[in-house]
Amino acid sequence: MPTAWGMPKKYVAIRAVLVRATTSGHVCRLQCGSCCGPSWCPSIVSSRFRLVIRAGGLPGHRSKPMPRMQVHWGTSMAGIAMTTERLRILVDARYACDAYPGIGRVVTGMAHALAHHPDVAHLHIVTNPRRVNTHLQLPTAAATVTHHEVSGRPGGVCEGQQVRRLANTIPADWFYTPYLRLPWGRFGPRTMVTVHDAIPLQSASTPWHLRIGFRLALWFAAARASLLTTVSYDAAVQITPYIWPHRPPAVIRNGIDAQFFAPVPAFDPHAHGISGPYALCVSSNQAHKNLATLVAAWRILVTERAIEAPATLVIAGQFNPARERPWRAAPDLPIVEIAHPDDVLLRQLYHGATLVVQPSRAEGFGLPVYEALACGCAVLCSDLPVYGETVADAVVTTAVDNPQVLARAIAALWNNPVRRADMARHGPPVARRFDWSAAAAQAIALMHR
Q: What local confidence, expressed as pLDDT, does residue 135 receive?
A: 85
Q: Which of 8-22, 356-370, 391-405 has the lowest mean pLDDT?
A: 8-22
- What are residue 335's DSSP bridge partners? 313
Give the rounded percent of residues in the chain with a pLDDT score beyond 90: 69
The dotted CATH code for 259-431 is 3.40.50.2000
pLDDT of residue 4: 38
pLDDT of residue 244: 79
Give residue-wise pLDDT tens across range 95-104.
999 889 899 9
Mean pLDDT along residues 39-68: 33
126: closest CA among 174, 178, 163?
163
pLDDT in tens, 399-437: 999 999 999 999 999 999 999 999 999 999 999 999 999
Mean pLDDT score across all residues of the chain: 83
Domains 87-255+435-448 and 259-431 share a fold: yes
Long-range contacts (CB closer than 8 Å, 24 or more residues apart) made by 366-371: 367/102, 367/105, 367/106, 367/254, 367/256, 368/282, 368/283, 369/395, 370/254, 370/256, 370/431, 370/434, 371/256, 371/257, 371/260, 371/282, 371/346, 371/431
Task: Place 279 in a pLDDT band, splitting at 50, 70 and 90.
Answer: very high
* Half-sphere CA count of 98, side-chain side, radius 13 A: 16
Average pLDDT of 65-83?
36
Confidence band for 39, pLDDT divided at 50, 70 and 90: very low
Pick from 217, 249, 190, 238: nearest CA to 442? 249
Q: What is the pLDDT of residues 130-157, one digit of tens each?
A: 999 988 999 999 999 999 999 999 999 9
Write down the pLDDT at residue 83: 44
pLDDT of 204 reads: 85
Q: What is the pLDDT of residues 223-263, one digit of tens each?
A: 889 999 999 999 999 999 988 777 889 999 999 999 999 99
Across the range 195-202, mean pLDDT stands at 92
Q: Rounded to the nearest 5°, which phi and psi values hold at 258?
A: -60, -25
Query: Pick the residue with more confidence: 66 or 341?
Result: 341
In this prediction, residue 353 has a pLDDT band, given cuts at 50, 70 and 90, of very high
> Which pLDDT score, from 0 to 100, does residue 376 have?
95
Average pLDDT over residues 18-30: 34
Instruction: For residue 77, name the pLDDT band (cuts at 50, 70, 90).
Output: very low
User: Which CATH class for the 87-255+435-448 domain?
Assistant: alpha beta
Domain residues of the chain, as ranges? 9-81, 87-255+435-448, 259-431
| Whole-angstrom distance, CA of residue 144 vs CA of residue 331 | 52
Average pLDDT over residues 354-358: 97
Average pLDDT of the residues in 362-384: 96
Least confident of 66-75, 321-330, 372-381: 66-75
| Phi, psi dihedral angles at 282 (to 5 degrees) | -105, 115
CA 136 distance to own-chain centroid: 15
Instruction: Assess whether pLDDT exceeds 70 at residue 66.
Output: no
Number of H helices, E strands in the chain: 13, 17
Which band of pLDDT confidence, cut at 50, 70 and 90, is reported for residue 106? very high
Kindly report the pTM of this predicted structure.
Answer: 0.79
Please say if the pLDDT value at position 53 is more than 90.
Answer: no
Q: Measured between alpha carbons, how far is 404 from 90 in angstroms, rounded to an integer?
A: 49
